């Protein structure tokens, strides 16, 4: 249990806890974001991306984000404070690595939060979103010296040249596992620490000053339909069931 800030409504609190904890885990425990760092958030208009952007900015970092559609690009451009650069990859013609290196003066970004990656150059992918994902080599290329790559790709496979590039940069890769808190008492302690201490200081600020990506509250009788949409990965915003 964690006490809800009075100025935060129940719908926003329910729709932000998971993404807030994920973002805090990625940016605090796995990469230690700090003022002056440059963070690349892939698919920044997603519910997780939105919270990650705002948390990174809250910590004083410069944020670059990718957009998968014109609507996503317009949404990201309306965020306040604004992101440093929105990279629209919807037409498949923009080089993410080149754009990031240009934005950072060739130094590369300090932290990358991906939303999945392509493992091979020629992939048998039918969905448009999969085609828009960056290749793993692109992320390694745009990563700066001493950088951190936080990945959600559980099947990530690195070849010797990939490892050599990361070694030369002194870069690290961490896996963002949503269920890590169930694996040990120590990890559960970190989870409670986020909720009780830092979530109260940071996530409550985000909920009050910023807004998560939420759909309209869904009545209980539509819960089954909503769950089917979520399971098919067709939900672009967080779904909250209201009793």
Mean pLDDT of the chain: 82
Can you say how many angstroms the Cα of residue 64 is from the centroid of all Cα atoms in its chain? 11
Q: What is the pLDDT of residue 85?
A: 92
Give every CB contact of residue 82 below 8 A, 6+ residues apart in sequence. none
Give every CB contact of residue 59 below 8 A, 6+ residues apart in sequence. 27, 33, 34, 35
Confidence of residue 195 (pLDDT cuts 50, 70, 90): low
> pLDDT: is 139 or 179 the higher one?
139
Predicted TM-score (pTM) above 0.75 = yes
48-63, pLDDT tens digit by residue?
Answer: 999 999 989 988 999 9
Domain 10-179 sits in CATH at 3.40.50.720
State in Å, rounded, how far the first CA of the chain is from the last one. 19
Helices (H), ranges, 155-239: 160-169, 185-193, 204-209, 223-231
Q: What is the pLDDT of residue 210?
A: 58
Is pLDDT at 201 greater than 70 in this prediction?
Answer: no
Buried b / exposed e over 52-79, threshold 16 CB at 10 Å, is bbbbbbbbebbbbbbbbbeebbebbeeb
Sign of CA dihedral 58, 43, 211, 16: negative
Domain ranges in the chain with CATH number 3.40.50.720 = 10-179
> Does an H or E element contain 177, and which?
none
Q: What is the pLDDT of residue 170?
A: 95
Confidence of residue 141 (pLDDT cuts 50, 70, 90): very high
């Amino acid at each position: 249990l964690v006490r809800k800030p009075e100025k935060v409504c129940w719908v926003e609190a329910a729709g932000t806890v998971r993404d807030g904890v994920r973002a805090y885990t990625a940016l605090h425990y796995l990469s230690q974001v700090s003022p002056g760092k440059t963070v690349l958030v892939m698919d920044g208009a997603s519910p997780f991306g939105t919270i990650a952007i705002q948390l990174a900015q809250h910590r004083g970092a410069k944020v670059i984000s990718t957009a998968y559609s014109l609507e996503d690009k317009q949404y990201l451009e309306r965020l306040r404070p604004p992101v440093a650069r929105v990279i629209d990859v919807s037409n498949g013609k923009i080089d993410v690595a080149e754009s990031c290196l240009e934005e950072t003066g060739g130094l590369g970004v300090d932290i990358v939060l991906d939303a999945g990656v392509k493992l091979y150059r020629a992939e048998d992918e039918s969905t448009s979103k999969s085609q828009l994902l960056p290749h793993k080599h692109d992320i390694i290329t745009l990563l700066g010296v001493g950088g951190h790559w936080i990945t959600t790709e559980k099947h990530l496979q690195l070849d010797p040249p990939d490892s050599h590039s990361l070694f030369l940069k002194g870069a690290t890769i961490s896996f963002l596992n949503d269920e890590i808190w169930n694996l040990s008492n120590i990890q559960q302690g970190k989870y409670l620490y986020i909720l009780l201490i830092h979530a109260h200081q940071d996530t409550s600020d985000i909920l009050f000053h910023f807004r998560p990506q939420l759909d309209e509250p869904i009545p209980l009788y539509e819960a089954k339909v909503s769950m089917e949409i979520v399971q098919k990965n067709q939900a672009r915003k967080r779904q909250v069931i209201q009793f």
